[in-house]
Structure 1
Amino acid sequence: MKRYEKQQLYIHNSLTKSKELFTPIHEGAIGLYVCGPTVYSNVHMGNCRTFLSFDLVYRYLTHLGYKVRYVRNITDAGHLENDGESGEDPILKKARIEQLEPMEVVQKYTVDFHTIMAKFNALPPSIEPTATGHIFEQIRIVEKIMAEGYAYEKNGSVYFDVMKFNEDNAYGKLSGRQLEDMVTNTRELAAQSEKKNPQDFALWKKAEPQHIMRWPSPWSDGFPGWHLECTAMSTKYLGDQFDIHGGGMDLKFPHHECEIAQAEASTKKSPVNYWMHTNMLTLNGKKMAKSTGNNILPSELFTGDNDILSKAFSPAVAKFFMYQAHYGSILDFSNDALLASEKGFNRLMDAFRSIESLDTSEESSMNIAQWKQSCYDAMNDDFNSPILIAQLFEGATFINSVKHGSGSITVEDLKLLKQTMSDFIFDVLGLVDVASENNGSGEKLEGAIDLLIQLRNDARANKDFATSDKIRDSLLEVGIQLKDGKDGTTYSLN
């Protein structure tokens, strides 16, 4: 029996604005699409939070035994400024600034994105398509939408007719916006004169003479609209209808709203059953923005090369910190919060490393099977990682009680405890023990610390307390705390 057959997973669906029991279209198999990065700059922490949130979703669904096809695209063309409708292509802009070919920019920042995701120990998607690799599919969808009467061509560009679509469908149902209100509050946009209505959005844009990235189409040499790309790539690999579509809440309108409209116009089907949106990441209580300097890149976080935080933080600690808030809530990045999270992370890892040394008895003072289910209950409640972490800390507290003689555990429960802690810490949350992360050599670190403990013990035996204290204090300065007990000296990473 697969784990998912024994668990009931509920997901907050942005489309219905309610938490719903998750039922996949095909039993045992799930289609998951997440909007990936537009690769014109280094990936920022807000992006990372979104991708790590869906790494958690992917990991948990896989842990439950589902066969998951996870598609996350790379946007390497067509995403203009102003919600993809006007302005300059940021990839072309960066190419001009850095004096590179546009695809050199794409490659440079795609590599950066992959590198950062690997440091966070995020699993790669099943398929990672690019917009430029699916021009043919996008042209075909435009032709279908035009054939259905929901798009029109003007001066070589093709626009989606929102008013016409709204006569037969409901434009705005994901974001909750009323078309009448949009019409009233519309601001002037570039190329508006080509549109029947300001709310219409581009499916295909005719390229200006200076626009380098262009492809032939029945209407002009040009490039696809940003919204169209995700419709083409998601439906190609997951079908006209699939289970979950995710992204940051900033994409809900207009990007995801337009995706729904395009899909319904071309297939007459609602494309996605469950829409999921992550919330924003702030820094010291303010929105992250490069323009104000209130911004930090993952690489600056890992190295400590910044003016915002007091020290460097490992990718595992940063990831653990982000999972201490639900993906749907605003999360504020701050030095104090990261320091507190680092202590909690080390406490959890320290407890896990202690499991092997626990003594067993004839009965357990904690119901391990019930505790295990509480971990599943947390994740079954819309992937509630902070509640899961709270349950893992319950497990850590119990481990420490057994370790210090105030609790007890049987042999079988010990096996179950270790397996459950391992499953949720490493497989579901995707965390990495910092001790093993440091140069990939946890055993060497442990050996070095053991040697220093022995040297300190020798110093104490020789009444050389100055050396003994120096070893203890020096280790503490780098986050390694020695603990003297009746059974000798142990350590923890703080």
Structure 2
Amino acid sequence: MQLYQEQTLKITNSLSGKKEIFKPINEGHVGMYVCGPTVYSNVHLGNCRTFMSFDMIFRYLRHLGYKVRYVRNITDAGHLVDDADEGEDKIAKKARLEKIEPMEVVQRYTVDFHYILDQFNFLPPSIEPTATGHIIEQLEIIKEILEKGYAYEINGSVYFDVKKFNDTFEYGKLSGRKLEDMIANTRELAAQSEKKNPQDFALWKKAEPQHIMRWPSPWGDGFPGWHLECTAMSTKYLGETFDIHGGGMDLKFPHHECEIAQAEASNGHSPVNYWLHANMLTMNGKKMAKSTGNNILPGEIFSGENTILSKPFSPSVVRFFMMQAHYTSILDLSNDALLASEKGYHRLMDAFDNLKNLETDTISDFDVPGWRQKCYDAMNDDFNTPILIAHLFEGVKHINLIKEGKEKITSTDKDLLQQTMSDFIFDVLGLEHKTESNQDSNKLQGVVELLIELRNEARSNRDFSTSDKIRDQLSAMGIQLKDGKEGTTFSVS
């Protein structure tokens, strides 16, 4: 019997706003689509959090015994600046600025995306389709929507007729927006566009002479609309109706709203049973943004080459930090939060290491089967990783008490405890075990911090020759000290 047959999973469906019991269309099988990156720059940490949330969901579904087809696309065309229907393609703009081919941009940042996700120990999706590889499928959907009367062609572009669609279906049901309100708020913009209404969105855009990325179509050379790509790729690989569609909260409107409309207009029914949305990541209480400097890339966290954090942090520590918040809640990154997560991560790993050496007895003081079910109950409650982690630390507490001889455990319960810890720490949360190099790094950190303390004492005693000697000899070994308002930090070159 598969685990999913004895566990009841509930997930928060953005479409209903409620927690619902998860029932896949085909028993034992799950189809899940997640909107992937637009590959025009290094993947930022907020996107990593979204993809990590769905990696965790993918992992748990597989752990329960489901056969999961996980599709996560690569957007390599058609995504215009500011998520609009006018202006420049994000990838083409980057290519123009760097004087390279658009597909060089795509290749460079797709490789970076995969490298960073690999550092975070992501499982690869089952299928990773690209928008440019599915132009034919997109053209066929446009033809269907035109035939059904929910789109119109003008000057070589094809637009989705939102008002006509709303006469039969409901535009705005995912985001909770009313079309009448949207029209009222944008009436003055109507004369500035070739669209019938400002709410109409592009299915196909005519390529101006300077537009590099273009394909032939029945309406002339052009390129697909950003929203259409995901409809084409999700339905091709998962069917006209599939189980789960995920993405960041910022995609709920207009991207996911438009996906629903396109699918309903072409197929006549809703494309997805459960919509899941991951929330945003902030830093030091503010929105992360390159323009304000309140921004950090994953690689800069791993290397320590940044002006925001006091030291480097490993990918597993960052992953553990992210798993300590529910995927639907806003999470704030800070130096203190990462330091606390690092301590918790090492405490968890140390306890797991101690498990195998625990002595067994004829009785157990720790109800391991009951505790194990509490771990499942947490994950069954809309993938509640912070509650799961709290239960794992309950396990840590008992491991330490047993190690100290203050509690007893039977051999059977010890095996179950070890298996459960392994399942949830590694298989579900996706953490990696610390290696010897990690342990060496921690020892190095301790030694350097001791030397910094001795240097500070020397400086306070005005013994500058000793303080300079410590700094210079560390520098000769590739360890740079940096004095700042918050104290002295170090980096290893």
The answer to whether the 8 A contact 2:32-2:243 is kept is: yes
Where do 5+ consecutive residues of structure 1 fail to align? 453-473, 479-494
Tell me, yes or no, if structure 1 residue 142 matches structure 2 residue 151: no
State how far apart, in whole Å, the 1-side matches of 2:187 and 2:59 are: 42
Q: 1:302 maps to which residue?
A: 302
Q: 2:172 maps to which residue?
A: 172
Q: 1:207 maps to which residue?
A: 207
Measured after TM superposition, the shift of residue 193 of structure 1 is 2.4
State how far apart, in whole Å, the 2-side matches of 1:234 and 1:46 are: 23
Amino acid at match of 2:135: I
Measured after TM superposition, the shift of residue 185 of structure 1 is 1.4
Amino acid at match of 1:122: F
Measured after TM superposition, the shift of residue 389 of structure 1 is 0.5
Q: 2:51 maps to which residue?
A: 51
State how far apart, in whole Å, the 1-side matches of 2:244 and 2:286 are: 30
Measured after TM superposition, the shift of residue 190 of structure 1 is 10
Q: How does 1:477-488 map to 2 (within 5 A)?
A: none
Q: 2:483 maps to which residue?
A: none
Q: How does 1:63-74 map to 2 (within 5 A)?
A: 63-74=63-74
The answer to whether the 8 A contact 1:285-1:332 is kept is: yes
State how far apart, in whole Å, the 2-side matches of 1:84 and 1:66 are: 38
Q: 1:482 maps to which residue?
A: none
State how far apart, in whole Å, the 2-side matches of 1:46 and 1:223 are: 28
State how far apart, in whole Å, the 1-side matches of 2:189 and 2:201 are: 11
The answer to whether the 8 A contact 1:86-1:191 is kept is: no
State how far apart, in whole Å, the 2-side matches of 1:86 and 1:365 are: 66
Q: 2:367 maps to which residue?
A: 367
Paired residue secondary structure (1:275):
strand
Normalised TM-score (structure 1): 0.88
Q: 1:120 maps to which residue?
A: 120
Measured after TM superposition, the shift of residue 82 of structure 1 is 2.6
State how far apart, in whole Å, the 2-side matches of 1:392 and 1:250 are: 32
How far does the alpha carbon of each residue in 1:315-359 deviate from its partner, in whole angstroms, 9 at most, with x for none? 000000000000000000000011011100100000000001110
Q: 1:428 to 1:190 in 2, by over 3 A?
A: farther
State how far apart, in whole Å, the 1-side matches of 2:47 and 2:148 are: 36
Q: 1:165 to 1:352 in 2, by over 3 A?
A: same
State how far apart, in whole Å, the 2-side matches of 1:16 and 1:367 are: 37
Q: 1:486 maps to which residue?
A: none
Q: How does 1:412-451 map to 2 (within 5 A)?
A: 412-435=412-435, 438=438
Measured after TM superposition, the shift of residue 437 of structure 1 is 6.8
The runs of at least 4 aligned residues of structure 1 exceeding 3 Å deviation read 187-192
State how far apart, in whole Å, the 2-side matches of 1:333 and 1:159 are: 40
Tell me, yes or no, if structure 1 residue 351 matches structure 2 residue 351: yes
The answer to whether the 8 A contact 1:86-1:190 is kept is: no
The answer to whether the 8 A contact 2:190-2:196 is kept is: no
Give the number of aligned pairs. 446
Q: 1:319 maps to which residue?
A: 319
Paired residue secondary structure (2:336):
helix
How far does the alpha carbon of each residue in 1:268-302 deviate from its partner, in whole angstroms, 9 at most, with x for none? 01000000000010000000000000000000000
Q: 2:288 maps to which residue?
A: 288
The answer to whether the 8 A contact 1:243-1:272 is kept is: yes
The answer to whether the 8 A contact 1:24-1:30 is kept is: yes
State how far apart, in whole Å, the 1-side matches of 2:388 and 2:369 are: 15
Q: CA RMSD in A?
A: 1.8
Tell me, yes or no, if structure 1 residue 18 matches structure 2 residue 9: no
State how far apart, in whole Å, the 1-side matches of 2:403 and 2:136 are: 63
Paired residue secondary structure (2:215):
coil
How far does the alpha carbon of each residue in 1:200-258 deviate from its partner, in whole angstroms, 9 at most, with x for none? 00000000100000000000100000000000000000000000000000000000000
Q: 1:374 to 1:187 in 2, by over 3 A?
A: farther
Q: 1:283 to 1:310 in 2, by over 3 A?
A: same
The answer to whether the 8 A contact 1:9-1:381 is kept is: yes
Where do 5+ consecutive residues of structure 2 fail to align? 448-473, 480-493
The answer to whether the 8 A contact 2:42-2:112 is kept is: yes
Amino acid at match of 1:215: W
Q: 1:363 to 1:189 in 2, by over 3 A?
A: farther
Measured after TM superposition, the shift of residue 435 of structure 1 is 2.3
Tell me, yes or no, if structure 1 residue 83 matches structure 2 residue 83: yes
State how far apart, in whole Å, the 2-side matches of 1:189 and 1:94 are: 29
State how far apart, in whole Å, the 2-side matches of 1:218 and 1:437 are: 59
Measured after TM superposition, the shift of residue 188 of structure 1 is 6.6
Paired residue secondary structure (2:277):
strand
The answer to whether the 8 A contact 2:190-2:198 is kept is: no
Q: Which moved more, 1:78-87 or 1:196-205?
A: 78-87
The answer to whether the 8 A contact 1:78-1:84 is kept is: no
Paired residue secondary structure (1:12):
strand
Q: 2:96 maps to which residue?
A: 96
Q: Report % sequence identity.
A: 72
The answer to whether the 8 A contact 1:153-1:159 is kept is: yes
State how far apart, in whole Å, the 1-side matches of 2:119 and 2:367 are: 36
